[in-house]
């Protein structure tokens, strides 16, 4: 298979990375990478009542989605979207397990509604008023690649912009021992079928059996390997340097995705 699109906007949030311009400067070597806990923004686009109910995955997903859409100058109410994550909200799952371990076994309705895998898409539709199609995917450590493929196919077939949002957040103990994600990380990209004045690059994706790319910087490689959504870093590196090239990103045990990046002048 082969699919292509243009990237018109990017959002990034993670450990030591507060937004796309700062992350691009780090990836391009213009700034030193300083590891630090992810600072999650308040989802100000939500009404106050919903804002108080959100967990960490919603905050990171809405943060990067808003940045990518804003940088592309997109109308968020009209955007189709693909949300992809290796799991649900780990903290909420932990709290539900704690509640089920008590004699009363009473689970908060708010916690339950925040535990479902499509919670981010629901809050995004509330925040933006969008009634456009939204898909929510999970492919374990290959979730970013699966989301990118789905977004590219939608962009190519429907000939409309698609917002890709990939995100993960940490699990507390004891779940952390089985799924040791250390912190929250999110990346969003607005894909368009045609080049626009906001286009950063054209990408073309194919399946491959080549080995995944790693990051030359040790700390960034540790980040890439520790958080599934951060598997996007080799692609982000090419976008940040503006040099173009090819990135091999983790997908399935038997195949990866090769992303050819050609920058737009």
Tell me whether residue 210 is in a domain.
no
Alpha-helical regions (H) of the chain: 20-27, 48-53, 56-71, 90-100, 109-115, 119-128, 143-158, 175-178, 218-226, 233-241
Tell me whether residue 138 is in a domain.
yes
The per-residue pLDDT of the chain, averaged, comes to 94
Domain span including residue 151: 2-200
Tell me whether residue 265 is in a domain.
no
| Residue range 235-251, pLDDT digits in tens | 999 999 998 899 999 99
Tell me whether residue 103 is in a domain.
yes
Quick one: pLDDT at residue 264? 87
- Asked if the model's pLDDT at residue 265 lies above 70, the reply is no
Tell me whether residue 247 is in a domain.
no
CATH of the domain at 17: 3.40.47.10
Tell me whether residue 235 is in a domain.
no
Considering only 8-12, 100-104, 142-146, 211-215, which range has the smallest mean pLDDT?
A: 100-104
Considering only 109-113, 134-138, 229-233, which range has the smallest mean pLDDT?
A: 109-113
| Residue range 112-157, pLDDT digits in tens | 888 888 999 999 999 999 999 999 999 999 999 999 999 999 999 9
Tell me whether residue 232 is in a domain.
no
Tell me whether residue 110 is in a domain.
yes
In 3-state terms, what secondary structure has residue 118? coil
Number of folded domains in the chain? 1
């Amino acid at each position: 298979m082969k699919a292509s699109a243009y990237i018109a906007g990017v959002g990034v949030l993670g450990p030591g990375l507060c937004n796309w311009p700062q992350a691009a400067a780090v990836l391009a070597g213009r700034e030193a990478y300083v590891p630090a806990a992810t600072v999650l923004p308040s989802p100000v686009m939500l009404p106050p009542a919903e804002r108080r109910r959100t967990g960490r995955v919603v905050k990171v997903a809405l943060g990067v989605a808003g940045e990518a859409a804003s940088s592309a100058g997109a109308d968020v109410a009209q955007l189709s979207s693909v949300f992809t994550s290796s799991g649900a909200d780990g903290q909420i799952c932990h709290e539900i397990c704690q509640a089920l371990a008590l004699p009363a076994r009473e689970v908060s309705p708010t916690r339950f509604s925040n535990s479902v895998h499509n919670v981010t898409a629901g809050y995004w539709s509330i925040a933006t008023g969008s009634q456009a199609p939204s898909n929510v995917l999970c492919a374990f450590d290959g979730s970013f690649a699966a989301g990118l493929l789905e977004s590219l196919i939608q962009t190519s077939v429907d000939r409309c912009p698609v917002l890709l949002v990939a995100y993960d957040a940490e699990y507390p103990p004891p779940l952390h021992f089985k799924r040791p994600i250390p912190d929250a990380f999110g990346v969003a990209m607005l894909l368009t079928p045609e080049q626009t004045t906001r286009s950063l690059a054209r990408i073309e994706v194919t399946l491959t059996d080549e080995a995944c790319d790693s990051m030359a910087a040790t700390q960034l490689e540790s980040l890439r390997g520790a958080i599934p959504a951060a598997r996007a870093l080799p692609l982000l590196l090419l976008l940040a340097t503006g040099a173009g090239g090819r990135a091999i990103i983790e997908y399935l045990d038997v195949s990866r995705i090769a992303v050819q990046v050609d920058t737009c002048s």
